[in-house]
Chains A and B, each alone.
Chain A
């Protein structure tokens, strides 16, 4: 015992273990500490970009070659599709203009179309306690904390921290993630929390009508996500007597494990 204590390295290790334990318990009260996040993101984001670059280049070169092989065949089909889409676009534009005129007439506020930034996923971190991804755009491109990240399918998460050329995205399934949602079918509201593999809809009254298959969309109440974006689909509903709230489990509509590209919505 005396030998153990007299060794400085042993004492340092013991002290550090106790310090880490204290650090963890402190976060129970005050929430997660984030003071070192940006410097580490700067270094790790930069290195991730360097590491990923050759793989991305090789993949894009291979895809480019395959693309060329099929170009001639696809070209004709795409021209036909383009002509059809032009026609559809003209009709849609007409409907849009008509819609806007009607909105003006009814004194509705003009719909704000948020601009977006296309981003590539350059890193994924998954552990039993968190789910985040790193993207290739950062503060220099206008990406700032809490901006929503989505795909054409639905919500991915929100920006957790950013530096000049990289940002960290807190995924929907991370336990630290909360999102105000509403059931598309009947407009019931709730708070969606990450549960690593899926999400849980919290604070839904026992008497609320929630069914398996219901689509949850953003309610816009959190001031972060625009209203009406698909978020998750209900996969399990459990009601227990003497419990005021239902237990609702929902799967994100976006396949987060296979995510490669996304959009960051600017305010």
Chain B
């Protein structure tokens, strides 16, 4: 881990997601840049580091929104863990399959958050949200995230997050 890069990532996560991506928003649905970067970190660093990074950035997002404190930290930690475990098995980090994995992670996170919110507030339209918010959100995150990762990997920008250089597979 490179602490300064991570600090910047955590610092910029909420404002960039909240403001810069607004022009890409369609009916309130916009790609999740933070999740995409976290997935990339997971692929490169491993499950534990990515889980810790996910928890930190999730916590910053939790405090920055009106949601339950710890909810994003919990789900983003799980995503980091999942992406890290996946990274141990994926050889081609620029693979188009990243689109599917990112979409799946985004969708799973949406479902977990919706279920926990249901437990807290009750009577949430989960099924409608699944089709009108979570699936479009997952697809947009998958698409933008896969393209972004491809770009960051090719330009070696993503390696800013790791101490050692990428090994050739």
> Footprint of B on A, CB under 8 Å?
7, 9-10, 12-13, 16-17, 20-21, 23-24, 27-28, 32-34, 36-37, 40-41, 43-45, 47-48, 50-52, 55, 122-132, 134, 160, 168, 170, 174-176, 195-198, 200, 256-257
Check B66 against A195 for contact (C-beta < 8 Å): no
- Chain B interface size, as a band, is 35 or more
> Footprint of A on B, CB under 8 Å?
11-12, 14-20, 22-23, 25, 27-30, 48-49, 51-52, 55, 60-61, 63-74, 77-78, 81, 110, 113-114, 116-117, 119-121, 123-125, 128-129, 132-134
Check A127 against B69 for contact (C-beta < 8 Å): no
Known: A13-B52, A24-B68. A127 touches B113 (CB 8 A): yes
Cross-interface CB contact of B117 among A40, A129, A134, A170, cutoff 8 Å: A129
Q: Offer 6 A-B interface pairs, CB within 8 angstroms, sorted by A.
A: A32-B68, A43-B11, A128-B114, A129-B68, A129-B117, A257-B25
Known: A12-B52, A129-B113. A27 touches B23 (CB 8 A): no
A48 and B66 alpha carbons, distance in the complex (Å) = 17
A217 and B17 alpha carbons, distance in the complex (Å) = 33
Check B120 against A125 for contact (C-beta < 8 Å): no
Check B15 against A129 for contact (C-beta < 8 Å): no
Cross-interface CB contact of A129 among B12, B71, B132, cutoff 8 Å: B71
Chain B nearest CB, measured from A200 CB (Å):
7
A37 and B80 alpha carbons, distance in the complex (Å) = 24
- By a CB distance below 8 angstroms, the chain B residues around A17 are 51, 55, 74, 77-78
Check B14 against A40 for contact (C-beta < 8 Å): yes
A187 and B83 alpha carbons, distance in the complex (Å) = 54
With most chain B CB atoms within 10 A of its CB, the pick from A27, A34, A170, A175 is A175
- By a CB distance below 8 angstroms, the chain A residues around B71 are 24, 129
How many interface contacts (CB-CB < 8 Å) are there between A and B? 152
- By a CB distance below 8 angstroms, the chain B residues around A127 are 65, 67, 72, 113
Q: Residue on A with the closest CB to B21?
A: A124
- By a CB distance below 8 angstroms, the chain B residues around A41 are 64
Chain A nearest CB, measured from B92 CB (Å):
27
Known: A47-B15, A123-B19. A13 touches B51 (CB 8 A): yes
Cross-interface CB contact of B74 among A21, A28, A195, A198, cutoff 8 Å: A21
Known: A43-B11, A47-B15, A257-B27. A132 touches B65 (CB 8 A): yes
A45 and B119 alpha carbons, distance in the complex (Å) = 30
Check A20 against B66 for contact (C-beta < 8 Å): no
A126 and B113 alpha carbons, distance in the complex (Å) = 12
Check B66 against A160 for contact (C-beta < 8 Å): yes
- By a CB distance below 8 angstroms, the chain B residues around A48 are 15, 18-19
- By a CB distance below 8 angstroms, the chain B residues around A198 are 125
Check A20 against B117 for contact (C-beta < 8 Å): no
- By a CB distance below 8 angstroms, the chain A residues around B19 are 48, 51-52, 122-124, 134
Chain B nearest CB, measured from A35 CB (Å):
9
Check A40 against B67 for contact (C-beta < 8 Å): no
Check B17 against A125 for contact (C-beta < 8 Å): yes
Cross-interface CB contact of B28 among A33, A47, A123, A126, cutoff 8 Å: A126
Check B77 against A175 for contact (C-beta < 8 Å): no
